[in-house]
Structure formats: structure tokens, C-alpha cells
Amino acid sequence: MTDRLIKAGCFLVVVAVITTPGCSPEELHRLLLVSFDGFRWDYLKRVPTPNFDALMEEGVRVQQVENTYITKTFPNHYTMVTGLHAESHGIVANEMYDPDLNLTFSMDRMDTYDPRWWDEGVPLWVTNQRAGHRSGAAMWPGSDVEIHQMYPTHYLPYNASVSFQDRVQKLIDWFTQERPINLGVLYWEEPDESGHRLGPDSPLMNEVIADIDGKLGFLLEQLKKAGIYDEVNLVVTSDHGMAQLSTDRIIELDKYVSSNLYTWIDKSPVVAILPKEGKYDEVYKALANANSSMTVYKKEDIPDHYHYKHNDRIMPIIIEAKEGWTIMQNKNGTFMLGNHGYDNTLPSMHPVFVARGPALRRGYSKASMHSVDLYPLMCHILAVPPAPNNGTLGSVRDLLKESAPPTAAPPTPARGESTYAPVLGSLLGAALVVGFLFVFVKQVTRKQLPSLPIGNLEIAQPLLQEEL
């Protein structure tokens, strides 16, 4: 009888250890976020896209994603991973000036690595690592910057010459190594570059779109080969769309105001103007009603729905071109056939969004969402507590299966601190079971064993000592 009890007790100990919440790779909720820069939502209608179609059939699609204003690359990539509007996370444009820092930020010059530009937001990889997990980033804007004193666990410094295949392979390696990541983010520069050069309406864009679908197919195949296709929640999206431009729709500011009166901070289609000292009124009056194809805003008059005026990096005067129009100082500048940055309510500015995975519904289509809602959705899938954000999980909860992971998560450890809660929980559970087992065995043996002489009490003495 006693042997059976001991065996049963050992079984209970094993069960207690196994069922206590832990952080083994099998238990982590995994997510891979992929951005194809400038992939407009309706590009999927242009050519056959069998790999995108497969994702939509197996997962979810959102028809219209309203991204953040201005609809440029850096602001929107940071919005996706912070859940914040540009005025809140501080990356307000691809080209910025900070009057407090007296510094200029420029994507073209790649002087973007000062953490002070980025610290107004908390990106997803920092959120994930603060919860004790591991992240990997392949060229995502900002992921090679030390934000809040933290890099992703693994990351690739930005290098446009690194192929898509190599970026994917790095992420696969990180997902399958001995200490795997549970979060990956991947960025690819196309079809944005071709959209600028060719214009989105060009028939030549069809080949570019088909190539992106082929790259997505490569990613899916590598996930399958690695045996993690059905374990990883895959989100494929973009930062913005693209509008067709024309040389017949150019606004030259030199016709209305001298360039000596202001500094040109950010370029078309939303031009940021910093008037020279004492020249604010003169510049504004010269531009306010100069051309019906552009709207000139004083910073304080920018529409509230843009969420784009409460930050010092937003300039005193903003000029917004109508869709398809280009603002230049004069025609000596570089002209592109496609551009983005316009009003974020325009369908031409909206990006693609498809996703599939164990936390997501199958074959489900949603009419619309806001890009700020993606961050709380991803935190929910990863089961990590989100940082303060402008998004709402409730707005996108319908994308999730009923059995989606809970949002509750263990307390966030201090920066650089290991997460010991799962281990301590396992030991505590085992100790409780062992304690109850010893008490139970003692009571049974007292009833079943013959009375022992007083000199043999040492048989029971160790049990009594362990109970003290």
C-alpha cells in the first residue's frame, strides 16, 4: 500500500512540474510581422497572387487599413510596432528637425541612429523582451537603434543589399535555434522603390507585384520546411500605398514666396516649412491661398483627425498637396511618377493586410481597421502586456479565434532582469505536493504498521524534522 502511495505521489510531483506555467519554446506564442514597403491594398487585384490568396483562404484579410498621417515609411513602420500616432511616438516624417535637440533626421542620409529620436515610443521588440522573451529583426526601420537602452535580441543592421532570401533565412534560424525567438519582424523595400520610379498605374508594376507574391511564397515554404508554419502567427502588411503623379500637376513654391524666407524641412506631398525668424506671418500669408491644389495649415489648425500637431518636431507651417499633385520649390528638383504621404483617409494610401496562424480566424474578411490597432493585437497574440498606446484591441478582436491566447501576462521584469517566475512556480507546486504526500503517508503508516518500541522512534524522526 505504501509503495503505491509513493508512486502516486511521484506522479503528482511530475504533473505539478509539467502543468505549472513555464516559458519553454513550445509554450511561447509566436509572431512574424512582415512589411512589403508601399504595397497598396488593391495591388492584389492586378495580377494572380496565389501565395497571398492562400494566406487569405487560411487566415484573415482587412480590406482597408487606415494608416497614420503622414503616410510615409518611417512614421508608419514605427506606428505599427508602437500603436502610437506619429505625434505621440515622435517619428513624424522621413525628414525631421527637432528644435530642442537642434538636430535633423533624414532617411536619405541615414543619420537616424540617435536613440533620442525614437524613445518617445516603445517598439514591440522592447515590449516582448521586457516580458522575458526574445526577438529578431531583419531590417525593420528603427530595429538597429538602441531604443530604451535595448536592441532586439538578434538584429541585422540596415543594409539594402542584403537579399530577401537571406533576411528570411536569418529569421528562420532565430525561430529554430536552441534559444528561439518568439517574435520576428521583417522589412523589404519593394514595391515602394518601383512604385516611385514607374508610378502605380504603370503596367510594369504588374511584374513587381508578381515578384512580391513569389517572395511571400519563398517565406511560406521556408516556414514549412522548418516545421513552424502552423506554429507562427504570420502578419503580412505594409506602411502605405502609392498615388500616380504627373508633370501636369506640379506646384512650384518659388512662384509664391522666396525660398530665402524659410527652411524646407520635409518634402512633398506634405511639405514642412520652418519660417526664418520674424518671417512667419509673411510666409503664411504668401502661401495660404496661393494654389487651390494645396492646403496650407498653421500647426495649431491641422485637423484633429490627423493626430498631427502635438509634437515639437511638427513644423509651424504644413502644406498638404491634393492627391496626385507634387509640391516643389521649382522644377529643377527630382520628379517621381509615384508618391505617398497624402491624406491617410484616401484609399490610394492604404496598405495590404493579410494574416494567418493558430491565433487567427480562417477565411475571414474585415472591412477596415486602424494601423494603431495592430500593436495591441500583436501583444495579445504574444501574451505580453502592451505599453501605453493609441490602439484598441476591441476594434480588431474579431480577427482572433475564440481560443486566442489571453492578454494576461506575468509581471514585467526590470530591464536586464531574468524572468524566474515560471521556475519558482514549478518548485513551489512540487514542494506543496511533496509536503502533502509525506503527511498522508505518515498518517497511513501509523495506522498500518505495528507499534514500535520507544527505541525505534528514529524511523519516524526524519519525517518530523522535515515538517518543522
Q: What is the pLDDT of residues 139-180, one digit of tens each?
A: 999 999 999 999 999 999 999 999 999 999 999 999 999 999
What kind and span of H or E run contains 73? helix 73-82
Q: What is the pLDDT of residues 193-240, one digit of tens each?
A: 999 999 999 999 999 999 999 999 999 999 999 999 999 999 999 999
Residue 167 DSSP one-character state: H
299: helix, coil or strand? helix
pLDDT over 70 percentage in the chain: 80
CATH 3.90.226.10 fits 25-84+121-245+344-399, yes or no: no
List CB contacts of 31: < 8 A, sequence separation 6 or more.
Answer: 182, 183, 184, 232, 233, 234, 235, 357, 378, 381, 382
What kind and span of H or E run contains 50? helix 50-58
Q: Which member of 49, 71, 73, 237 is catalytic? A: 73
List CB contacts of 74: < 8 A, sequence separation 6 or more.
Answer: 91, 93, 94, 107, 112, 141, 142
Q: What is the pLDDT of residues 70-124, one digit of tens each?
A: 999 999 999 999 999 999 999 999 999 999 999 999 987 777 999 999 999 999 9
- How far is Cα 174 from Cα 202, in angstroms, rounded to an integer? 38
pLDDT band at 424, cuts 50/70/90?
Answer: very low
Q: What is the pLDDT of residues 254-307, one digit of tens each?
A: 999 999 999 999 999 999 999 999 999 999 999 999 999 999 999 999 999 999
Mean pLDDT of the chain: 86
Q: What is the pLDDT of residues 26-82, one digit of tens each?
A: 444 999 999 999 999 999 999 999 999 999 999 999 999 999 999 999 999 999 999
The DSSP result for 233-256, as a single string, is EEEEE-S---EE--TTSEEEGGGT
- How far is Cα 133 from Cα 447, in angstroms, rounded to an integer? 51
- Would you call 73 a catalytic residue per the annotation? yes
pLDDT band at 17, cuts 50/70/90?
Answer: very low
Position 406 scores a pLDDT of: 53
**Is it the case that residue 392 has pLDDT exceeding 80?**
yes
List CB contacts of 253: < 8 A, sequence separation 6 or more.
Answer: 259, 271, 287, 319, 327, 328, 329, 330
What is the pLDDT averaged over residues 336-347?
99
Phi, psi dihedral angles at 149 (to 5 degrees): 60, 30
Domain residue extents for the chain? 2-20+419-467, 25-84+121-245+344-399
Q: Which residue(s) pair with 136 in the sheet?
A: 154, 184
pTM here? Answer: 0.82
> 353-356 and 243-244: which strand pairing?
unpaired
